[in-house]
Amino acid sequence: MTPAAFPPDIAHHAALDARMVEAAREVRLLSLASWPAGMETDFVADYARGVVRLPVIEYPRHDFSAVRTELAAISAAADRDHPLGQYLIDAAASWDTAAQLCEHLGTPAVTDLSIRLYGSPFDPLPGDGPDARVAARHFLSIADEFDRELLAPSEHVTISATALQLQLQRDLDDYFGERVIDVELDPDLIAKAAAGATRIRLRTTASFSDYDRDQLLQHEAFVHSLSALNGREQPVLGSLALSSPRATATQEGLATFAEQITGSIDISRMKRLSLRIEAVAMALEGADFIEVFRYFLDAGQSPEESFASAQRVFRGVPVTGGAAFTKDAVYLRGLIGVHTFFRWALRQRQLRLCRWLFAGKMTLADVQRFAPLFEAGVLLPPRWMPRWVARANGLAGVLAFSLFANRIRLDAVDERGFLDI
């Protein structure tokens, strides 16, 4: 069914959404904030020779005033009392903030704009929890004590990006029964991996563990790629295929939850996520690029990985300290939020919401507002889902146990543990 065949209110917002998709295409935030290729090689070589100097990055100037004017017009034409209208207003505001950020690349203003999009390490976690930095330090304390002794000998073996490319490509072709997603090598990628609807990129120089393979499959392919592919199937909201900044926390939280529920996550992975949060906090408190680079080095990362990790923190901001690109703060907050949402959905007997999260890239609030639209057939359920979501009984079993187990207080078990049981 085409948008024009829907009732006038749906067709009106579908037309606005199509305009927003067109406007947002120009705001390629992550690629515009990325550093030029080749900086890592020179920096690491200089550092090895004892030459320590801050990287110098020149960002081109951008003018997104026309885009922002269009986004404002879309927002003004949307009905705030309609679930599609509220979605468009929120999404347009997010893309406007992203456009402002791109216009201010290389300046301290990026920090506040980044926090508006992604939050900060000092924001409380969902459910009135501690802030993300406190959570990160919790995982780091456990990892520092146990990560090496918990690893089996086979888990110390690294896999090249080329070998992983072949393995992931085979796994994905088996899942779809045909070539739907291409796995490619990218020498210029900042992250170790990144996913779009039909392409997953691996950084050519990165090395991976056996755990990384399962993590990438569950995280990048079966969340980021599948949600984008399903978003493309939507006749009304084409924007659900876009990686909107406002959906980042839910997307990354859902992807990390997928690692957790499939047993693909390990303490080393939690350590990497936590190190990034601590590094963002350090940069906000005044640490410069060199200090953050050394922090990752001291944590056991190679010089190349330490540069890549520090680079994530200083995308788009001055490298002299007191500024940060805060996207990495979303992972733990997103994980806690999604885990809490899934447990809440089970208790409310609304597990269908969890499946609908894969119908496109949306927030937890979006999927709740969209429930009547899914039920009416305005929005389509996901065509593709990871197996752990499709098997509702298994998911319900895990969540039911989690709901009950969280009522057991570890601090109520005395120092004798279970010796008296």
DSSP 196-255: -SSEEEEETT-EE-HHHHHHHIIIIIIIIIHHHHHHHT-SS-GGGGS--GGGHHHHHHHH
Average pLDDT estimate for 197-216: 86
Mean pLDDT confidence for 347-374: 95
Of the CA atoms within 13 Å of residue 276, those in its CB half-sphere come to: 23
**DSSP structural state of residue 380:** P
Residue pair 370/160 in contact by the 8 Å Cβ criterion: no
Distance CA 194, CA 201 (A): 5
In terms of average pLDDT, the best of 36-40, 151-155, 222-226, 262-266 is 222-226
Report whether pLDDT(155) > 70. Answer: no
Q: In terms of Cα–Cα distance, which of 288, 394, 373, 290 is closest to 82?
A: 373
Instruction: State the average pLDDT over residues 359-384.
Output: 96
126 token code pair = 């969902």
pLDDT surpassing 80 at residue 392: no
pLDDT at 269: 84
The pair of structure tokens assigned to 156 is 């110390």
Q: Which residue has the higher pLDDT, 197 or 391?
A: 197
Tell me how far apart the 2 most distant CA atoms of the chain are, in Å. 71
**Helix, coil or strand: residue 182:** strand
Query: Do 115 and 328 meet the contact criterion of CB atoms below 8 Å apart?
Result: no
* 154 has pLDDT over 60: no
- Residues near 327 by Cβ (< 8 Å), separated by ≥ 6? 114, 117, 118, 248, 312, 315
The DSSP secondary structure of 113-168, one letter per residue, reads: HHHHHH--TTSBPTTT--BHHHHHHHHHHHHHHHHHHHS-GGGG--EEHHHHHHHH
Q: What is the pLDDT of residue 207?
A: 83
Q: Which residue has the tokens 């609807």?
A: 197
User: What was the pLDDT predicted at 267?
Assistant: 82
- Non-local CB neighbours of 237 within 8 Å, separated by 6+ positions: 14, 17, 84, 87, 231, 360, 379
Q: What are the extents of the domains in the chain?
A: 121-405
- Give the Cα separation of 288 and 295 in Å (integer): 11
Mean local confidence (pLDDT), 342-363: 92
Where do we find the tokens 């039911």?
Answer: 400
pLDDT band per the 50, 70, 90 thresholds, residue 153: very low
Helix (H) or strand (E) holding 69: helix 65-77
In this predicted model, what pLDDT tens digit does every residue of 302-337 receive, in sequence order?
999 999 999 999 999 999 999 999 999 999 999 999
pLDDT value at 67 more than 70: yes
Residue with tokens 């080095």: 297
With beta carbons less than 8 A apart as the criterion, state whether 358 and 382 touch: yes
Over range 400-415, report the average pLDDT.
62
Residue 268 has pLDDT above 70, yes or no: yes
Mean residue pLDDT of the chain comes to 89
The mean pLDDT value for 389-418 works out to 65
Residue 361 pLDDT exceeds 50: yes
The string of pLDDT tens digits covering residues 116-142 is 999 999 998 877 778 999 989 988 988
Which pLDDT band holds residue 205 (cuts at 50, 70, 90)?
confident
| pLDDT tens-digit map of 209-242 | 777 888 889 999 999 999 999 999 999 999 999 9
For the entire predicted model, the pTM comes to: 0.88
Enter the tokens of residue 416: 């004798």
Return the pLDDT at 190: 76
Q: What is the pLDDT of residue 416?
A: 55
CA atoms within 13 A on the CB side of 412: 4
Share of the chain above pLDDT 70, in %: 89
For residue range 161-196, what is the model confidence (pLDDT) as tens digits? 999 999 999 999 999 999 999 999 998 887 788 888
Evaluate if residue 413 carries a pLDDT over 60: no
* Interatomic CA distance for residues 257 and 49, integer angstroms: 42
